[in-house]
Copies of this chain bind each other. A is one copy, B any other.
Amino acid sequence: MDDLLTRLRQRDWRLTSQRRVVAEVLVGEHVHLTADEVHARAAELLPEISRATVYNTLGELVSLGEVREVTIDGRAKRYDPNVTGLHHHLVCTSCGLILDIPAIAGDPSPLARGSRFGFVVDAVDVTYRGTCPDCLAMDGERRVPQARGGSGRS
* Chain A interface residues toward B at CB < 8 A: 69, 71-74, 76-77, 90, 92, 99, 101-102, 104, 107-109, 111, 115-133, 136
Contacts A71-B74, A119-B131 known; list 4 others, CB within 8 Å: A69-B74, A108-B108, A121-B129, A126-B127
Which residues from B are CB-within-8-Å of A127?
Answer: 124-126
Asked whether, in the complex, the Cβ of B133 is within 8 Å of the Cβ of A118, the reply is: yes
Of all chain B residues, the one with the shortest Cβ separation from A103 is: B109
CB-based contact A129/B133 at 8 Å = no
- As for how many copies of this chain the complex holds, the number is 2
Q: A71-B71, A104-B109 are in contact. Are A123 and B119 (CB under 8 A)?
A: no
Q: Once the chains bind, are A120 and B115 in contact (CB under 8 Å)?
A: no
Question: CA of A69 to CA of B128 in the docked complex: distance in angstroms?
Answer: 15
The answer for the CA separation of A127 and B72 in the assembled complex, in Å, is: 12
Report chain B residues within 8 Å CB of A115.
Answer: 101-102
Question: A101 contacts which chain B residues (CB < 8 A)?
Answer: 111, 115
Query: Separation in Å of the A67 CB from the closest CB of chain B?
Result: 15
Bound state CA distance, A72 and B127, in angstroms? 12
Which of A69, A77, A107, A127 has its CB near the most chain B CB atoms (within 10 A)? A127
